[in-house]
Amino acid sequence: MTKQLLESLFKPVIHEEDGVYWAEVPAMPGCFTVADTLDELRTNIIEAMQCWLLTAADAENYRQNNRRRICRVRPAVALA
């Protein structure tokens, strides 16, 4: 996914506090970064969004694979 597409789809919100910049992506819970300059912030937030998407895809893949395994498991029968 291109940088421009990421920024247009997920809309990072940029903040400045005491000369330090930070950005968050409301559509991606937990996706945020900090930087000393706006240029550095833009690079960092793109990287953070890419990592977030990869992690989300891995998590979904894990859930799908485990769901299949769980469906195949049969409860044990207790022998008296």
Domains located in the chain, CATH noted: 3-72 (3.30.160.250)
* pTM for the predicted model, two decimal places: 0.69
Which pLDDT does position 73 carry in this prediction?
47
61, HSE (Cβ side, Cα atoms, 13 Å): 6
Both ends of the chain: CA-CA distance in Å?
59
| Average pLDDT score over residue span 7-36 | 92
Vertex 63 angle, CA 59 and 68, to 5°: 150
Position with higher pLDDT, 5 vs 36:
36
Place of tokens 């998590």: 59
Residue 11, both tokens: 């809309």
